[in-house]
Chains A and B, each alone.
Chain A
Amino acid sequence: MPLTGLQIFKLLPNTNCKKCGYPTCLTFAMKLAAGKEALEKCPDASPEAKAALGAASAPPIRGVTVGRGDRAITVGEETVFFRHEKTFVRHPGLFQIFDPAGLTAAERDAKLDHWRAIRIERAGETFQVDGIAVVETAESVAAAVAASDRGFPVAILAATLPGATAIAERIKEHRPLLVPPAGANLEGYAALAARLGIPLVVGAPDLASLADAARDAARAGVTDILLEPPGADPRLLHHSLSAIRRGALDRIHPGLGHPVFLCVGAGEIEKAVLGITKFASLVALADCGGETWLPLWTLRQNIYTDPQKPLQMDPGLYAIGEPNDRSPLLVTSNFSLTYFIVSTEAEASGVACHLAVVDAEGLSVLTAWSAGKFSGDRVAKALREMKAAERVSHHTVIIPGYVPVISGELEDALGDGWHVLVGPQEASDIAPFFRDVWGPLARDLGTHP
């Protein structure tokens, strides 16, 4: 909890020496409380003052990094309970649980290569497998090394302390996450994590012992900790997740100020949904099919979007394929989701085209239109700025089918020689529209799309 001005004032020398640039210590304290000044400006502040202020300004939930290099993932550092209060900042990492038992080296590598190759573009984000959670078995050292070599952050789902030690020692430079078995005595694992300087998951059967266990691990020298919440059923899990977040924000116990780790078994997508919406920071999933991962990636994208500013595209004229001056010209809004859907469908049609992305402040077509951001005038102005007239000889623009109302205004605003063509409502109908409407029209215009 941040300190009040008066609380800070009590920590200052109270000499009113003005070296900080303020007439009195109290004025300076007020500025500090408002976050508008830094304590460094007072040369005479005591170490106690520094410590107290430092602790109070530290984020309520620590950041933890797993892995190294391009794919390293940092989680935590959240500051709110509701996303509309500010935003959730660090989206949870989704790890693939991998049990290498019984696989040949070639089979193992084929799986890892497959997971590494997965890249799914959606609305301005690339979905990928964020890390591999290796189940400890006889084959796990090699598997963990193979995963690390491919750049994956690794979580070690330990079964035994000696086994986990063997794996962790081998890949310690890659900052693996150490996950002790459920119910384990944590001392040995904490000592291992502290010695190697790697992050550790701490679990316990109830919240009070969880907070104490995290505090004990920190005292044992572990700097990066994740909490595994009690969660034998959805109700208990939801309770734990909510209580940990609230307790961390209210700073009621130092052991709660860490990100949360969650293991999700096969066929338990509901548990992952709960985790992603309610504050989990690393989620390890046993299922490996797209039917599980795609909804979860998408949910994460939704929940972790900044509610104050929707994902936006830079406005401009985008090329789909290799269009020329006879290719169709489509216009849409700069909401990333809209752009993503329209460009995907246009691309799938196989017809090269120009896509004019108009600045509609990141709103969908209909929302933008009702807010006055996708009016004929605005679209015309944008097309002029993009010099669309120089890019297409047919001077025909195709607008989304949900806003036929703007066509008259747009035609007037564009002026001489421009035609407005109302496209289909759904982007998925763009291909048949090109075939059935644009094709014959373009032939009439003497051009060939």
Chain B
Amino acid sequence: MSLDLKPKKWAGALREVTLGAGSRRPVAVGGGNGLPLHTFEAAFPHRPALALEITDVDPVRWVESVRQPWEGVLGRPAEAARRAVADFGADLLLVHLMGTHTDRGNRSPEQAAADVGAVLEAVNVPLIVKGPGAGQKQNTVLARVAEDCRGEGLALHSATNEDYKTLAAVAVAYGHALVGESPIDVNMAKQLNILLADSNVDLNRVLIDPLTGGLGYGLEYSYSVMERIRLAALGGDAMLNCPIVCLVGEEAWKAKEAKVPADKEPLWGSQRERGIHWEVATAMTLIEAGAEVVVLRHPETLDRIRKQLDSWFGSEPSHDREGVVQNSFRATDEHR
């Protein structure tokens, strides 16, 4: 009996969004016309892109095992960027201007723009630039960065339903992309895109950040909302078919389970490995749900996720595809 597994065809496809312009080596994401990773029945012009997060000031709350690979460059964004690209192989970077927050140094918009400028000089990958969080300061900081770095095709993070006008305007004026953030809700994600489109933002330059719940802390909500956004996009909804970006590192490393040392919880195993596994599991799960850009903190996570994605998207034909599972602990037929 032969198996009649019909490939699933969809009416719609994701928009293709290109990050980076000007002096950047651009990275395009999205464009696929099937469920995430369903390469057996759909076409995906681009693989999910992997970003590393760098910060303008020393991120003192990062746990030791994430600080370790960045030793010597924390709080020095240009050097961190160089390491992230040259040593760790990031496709793009998220520059988190956390130091501009009023409680974390209150750095000025000028300083922020200078920091981003230094990163642009240090590396040629596209940048996502994340402000200090919702509010007036966020807008002044990102507007200044947008202006000073015009033409570089940055992705500004982030516009929300309550506050999008300033960022929409500067993104359009200075040639940047925009990340629209909404709290784990399909309708709010759609509403925001409608608002952005009404403000003359080209949705081919928009990424959706549906807000990430980390493993054990709301991951299931993000997972299902992302699946539903993807299904809507494939169903032809032109207001929900932007690629999704997930800030994985930030959420994964917030978890107590990623941070507690082994001697405090003997059954939990090594803290270093556990933390990386926490980030790997969060990232992999969200890529399965439809993330097209994941932002990570630990370079080892990036390396491991890249190896996984090579299996789906690698240029080299995957070896032994039709072969059987060969694990060291499983005997093979020869033993019989």
Contacts and interface: CB of A to CB of B under 8 A. Distances in A.
B285 A277 contact: yes
Contacts of A253: 1, 3-4
B82 to A, nearest CB: 28
Interface in B292-336: 304, 308, 311-312, 318-333, 335-336
B288 interface: yes
A299 interface: yes
A371 B113 CA distance: 37
How many interface residues does chain A have, given as a range?
35 or more
A372 to B, nearest CB: 15
Given A234-B312, A299-B215, A290 B4 contact: no
A158 B331 contact: yes
B57 interface: no
Interface string B262-281: 00011111110110011011
How many interface residues does chain B have, given as a range?
35 or more
A138 to B, nearest CB: 13
B284 A232 contact: no
A125 B158 CA distance: 36
Nearest to B216: A298
Interface stretch (B87-95, B116-124, B140-148, B219-227): B219-227
Contacts of B319: 232-233
B335 A269 contact: no
A105 interface: no
Given A234-B311, A299-B285, A182 B5 contact: no
B273 to A, nearest CB: 4
A307 interface: yes
Contacts of A205: 322-324
B228 interface: yes
Contacts of A212: 1
Nearest to B314: A235
A303 interface: yes
B167 interface: no
A286 B281 CA distance: 17
B5 A228 contact: no
A161 interface: yes
Nearest to B184: A367
A109 to B, nearest CB: 19
Contacts of B308: 234, 270
A13 B244 CA distance: 56
B184 to A, nearest CB: 9
Interface stretch (A38-46, A165-173, A240-248): A240-248
A157 interface: yes
A403 to B, nearest CB: 16
Contact of A295 (B218, B278, B318): B278
A235 B318 contact: yes
Interface in A281-311: 286, 289-296, 298-299, 301-303, 305, 307
A246 B327 contact: no
A208 B2 contact: yes
Contacts of A412: none
Given A158-B331, A181-B333, A236-B321, A290 B268 contact: yes
Contacts of A292: 269, 273, 277
A291 B328 CA distance: 21
A387 interface: no
B154 interface: no
A270 B219 CA distance: 16
B39 interface: yes
A298 B333 contact: no
A265 interface: yes
Interface in B52-68: none
B330 A235 contact: no
Contacts of B311: 233-235
A162 to B, nearest CB: 9
A274 B318 contact: no
Interface in A144-174: 157-161
Given A120-B267, A231-B325, A263-B329, 11 more contacts: A97-B329, A183-B332, A263-B327, A278-B288, A291-B273, A294-B267, A295-B277, A295-B278, A296-B281, A298-B216, A305-B220
